[in-house]
Each structure stands twice: as structure tokens, then as C-alpha cells.
Amino acid sequence: MKVLFLAAEATPLVKVGGLADVAGELPRALARHGVDVQLALPFYPGLKAELAGLRPLATVEVPRPDGVQTATVHALEVDGRRVWLIGGEPIDAAPAVYGAPEQDAAKFIFFGIGALQACRSLGWEPEVVHAHDWHAAPSLAWMRTASFGWDRTPALLTVHNLPYMGTGGEAALAGYGLRPADDPQLPDWARQLPLPLGMSHADWITTVSPSYAGEIQTPAFGCGLEAFLASRAGRLRGILNGIDPRVWNPGADAALERRYAIDSLEYRLTNKTALQRIFGWPEHGRTPLLAMITRLDVQKGVDLALDALEALQDVRWQFILLGRGDPAVEAQAEAFAAAHRDRAAFIPQFDPFLSRRIYAGADMLLVPSRYEPCGLAQLIGLRYGAVPVVRATGGLRDTVEPYASEAQGTGFLFDRADPQALADSLRGAIQVHADTRRWAGLQRRGMAADFSWAASAAEYSDLYLQASAERRARSGG
């Protein structure tokens, strides 16, 4: 089975967020199911500079009603799989991976069309085209146009984060001759946006957890597309993301002060003490060390965490927040850390090395997201024995089992997106933390849970087969 992945980012070449991990790691797991994934990425100027010696394989035409643009095609092997790099003027004109909406739309539409043209011109025809997020969604509309004509090729679209629809991309779609979606279930404002347009052409829409697949069919999470998504319920599936257990392994993680495993949990303390020392805090093993490692975005509920901790003044805790993002959220975090220097720290960075040390040393990992399609931090937290305290939404609900008794549960969940609900949950968690035996049980159950890519890959591979069979049946064999 040959599958073309189209994505704006993928590890190890380009990484901004969780999408990169999925697009980079899922193909490896799919290979074990006999699925040959070739991945196309935009050839961003930054990547070009890093791969300066790479020679172009071909150039292809990207047709527009007002003329033709040229895309360059480079290819390289990563982990034994081919990655296509599609370059050209619209990508050079908007060099950051993500920038201004109009320019980004032009760049990503160009990229998607260029990738399809490259496959055709180099003689590699995928049996399934699998696009990720709004960036790649327009290519699904384009492959069905008369001029390209891949009508028998199944199209899958994975939505990693529904609110990002490519707003501002209306003119760019028209510029490439892409007509508005004609699905009557789509509201007018959505018909000429990249993500809904792609969804209207997809045979299957997937998202990254079963709960989120259900939530986006409701007004609270559907961003105005709930009626459309509900009308596609039979063609909408939630497939949980995974993590690579070799990449995330506290038993072999070179970043840690001390490595440990499920049967040597006591070594974690060394990692906790190392963190307390960095911030000049009392090196108490019994004081709960809480952490958040996240993009500082309203979605992630950093404000809820800070307000909840304010409400827990009477309780002993220490708190580390690592991540960057929205300047307003950063300012709030900075003010919080300044007011609680003796027990709170904010490090406004994406620091992979430090993040690993935090997963390994924190007692609890807070993920109070307002919505969460899947979430990767809680999966890493579970694997590292940093017990997750999460909002019961999306993938968080699907991956963290609520603490119920000495023998059951891997973390703590709360329902309402408000600081008091989180504070109550934290109070409960901190009480259980005082009981070392119960706490170690929680940690061990979380560390033993299997969130590798194997299960996801099996589901995607089944879906590819099903989508292919459906298309074949529809077009008469």
C-alpha cells in the first residue's frame, strides 16, 4: 500500500508542534503494516540552508488561472523512507514555517499542488493521499479537479487542531482556481476556507482521539462546523496518537541526571533534587513538584493553572513552567513567577533537554487544556512517572485513567475549565502524593501503559484499506 503524506512539518526535519511528531513517527509504525509512506514537506528556506548540498530531482508546473508557477522537487531518504521537498517562490516569500495567514495559504496551497504534480511527473502514484491539517487540505480539492483527475484515489484528512482552518486563505484558494465547497451542511463563511474545503472532498476525516472526534460534533468544540461534522459522523474517526517508546524512555534518556525504570522509581528523586537545585529551592523530597511543559496558548489553560496555584497558597508545592508563546500569557506567567520566587519558576523557552529533565523529576504534570485533540505531554508524563493532572477533554480523557483506588488509575481529571476545579483536583492529588505507596502505584500503572504507535498504525492501515475498497467499488472495480 503506497500512501502520500502531506504535512507542513515532520520530525526530524521541521518541528514546531505535535503535528511534526505525528507526521514523522507514524510512517515508521505504518511500515510494519506494509504501508509505504512517502512524505512531502515544503522546502522552507531554513531547511534549504541546512541541506545545501542537495540537488533538485525535477521541476514541475503548478498551474493557476493566471499563469504557471514552477516548483522544484528535491528528495531525500529519512529512516529508509523517501521525503519529497517541494520548493518555489511562494515558499521563499513566507520563509517561517507559520507566519501571516494570506501568505501562508498561498505557500501551502502551492506546496500541496506541487507535491501531487511531483508524484505524477516522477511516476510514483500513491494509492491513498493522506493530508494533515488545513495546510495540506486544499490539495484534496485539487486532486479532484478536472485538470488533475485523481478521482479513484482515496483522500484522507487528519484534523490535528480544528480551530486552525486557514482563515485568510480565501483569495489564495481562488488564485489557484479552487472553487468553494458545495456541501450544503457547510456554513457560507467556511466554504472557501482551506480546512473545510478539504474536509468536503475527503473520503474520511480523522482526528487524533476518539473523544475529540465526538466533541467536534458539538457547538462547544465544533467552531461552527459541528453540523457539517455531525453530518459526516459515519466518515469521521478518532484515532489516538502515540509516542515512540524508544525516543521517550527514562531508562535510556541521556538528558537525565539519573536514569530509572518502573522497578527503580526511587532513582527519580535524584532528578527532582537536581531541578530544585537549579531554581535554588529547598531540596525536599516530600514537597510536591508540579510542572507544565507547553506552548503558551489560551488553548493550554496556563492561566487556569496559575490561578489554581494562587488558590492553593496554604498547600506546599513547587511549580515549573517551561514554554513560550502568546505574549499576554507569557507576561502573566512572568508576573506569577516573580511573585512566588521561592517556589515557582517560568522558563520562556522550548528546551528539549530541560523538558526531559522536568518530565523525569516532577511529581505531577499539569495539562489543564480548554480543548485537546490528543496531547502528547500527558503521554510523556505517564511514561516518565510524572503523574498527569488533566482536564477531562479530548485525548486527555482518552489516555489518563482517573485515580479511583489504591489499585486503579493513572492520574487525576477535572471537568470544568475553571481554576477552582483544577485547584480541587490538585488538592486531591497532593493528598494522595503524601502516601508514598499509593503514589508509586499510580506512577507504575502510568509507566506500564502502552501508548506506542502500534495501535494507531493498525487503525490507519485498516482505514486506508477500507477507503481503497470503497473507491474501487464506487468506480466499478
The cell for 165 is 482552518
Looking at beta carbons only, is 336 or 451 nearer to ligand NHF?
451
CB of 8 to ligand NHF, least distance (A): 12
Looking at beta carbons only, is 22 or 256 nearer to ligand NHF?
22
Dihedral sign for Cα 83, 84, 87, 93, please: negative
Q: Which stretch binds ligand NHF (CB under 6 A): 198-206, 273-281, 370-378, 467-475?
A: 370-378
CA distance 395 to 387: 16
Site string for ligand NHF, 163-202 (x = CB under 6 A): ----------------------------------------
Looking at beta carbons only, is 22 or 213 nearer to ligand NHF?
22
| CB burial of residue 403 (10 Å; 0-12, 13-18, 19+) | buried
Describe the strand order of the beta sheet including 289-293 as a list of residue ranges. Answer: 344-347, 318-322, 289-293, 364-367, 387-391, 412-414
The conformation of residue 34, written as its DSSP 8-state character, comes to T
Binding status of residue 376 toward ligand NHF by CB under 6 A: yes
| R_g of the chain computed on alpha carbons | 23
Any residues with CB less than 8 A from the CB of 370 and at least 6 apart, and which? 298, 299, 300, 301, 391, 393, 417
Binding status of residue 19 toward ligand NHF by CB under 6 A: yes
The conformation of residue 97, written as its DSSP 8-state character, comes to S
CB of 241 to ligand NHF, least distance (A): 5
Looking at beta carbons only, is 337 or 376 nearer to ligand NHF?
376
CB of 6 to ligand NHF, least distance (A): 15
Q: Can the peptide bond before residue 12 be classed as cis, meaning omega within 30 degrees of 0?
A: yes
Give the number of residues in contact with ligand NHF, rule: CB under 6 A. Answer: 14
**Of these, 7, 8, 22, 333, which contacts ligand NHF (CB under 6 A)?**
22
**Of these, 374, 380, 389, 422, which contacts ligand NHF (CB under 6 A)?**
374
Window 200 to 239, contacts with ligand NHF (CB under 6 A): 208
Binding status of residue 161 toward ligand NHF by CB under 6 A: yes
Strand residues in 14-166 grouped as ranges (E): 36-42, 58-64, 67-78, 81-87, 128-132, 155-159
| Residues 132, 133, 135, 139, Cα dihedral to 10° | 60
Binding status of residue 160 toward ligand NHF by CB under 6 A: yes
CB of 376 to ligand NHF, least distance (A): 5
Residue, CB closest to ligand NHF: 18
Residue ranges that bind ligand NHF, judged by CB under 6 A: 17-19, 22, 160-161, 208, 241, 372-376, 395
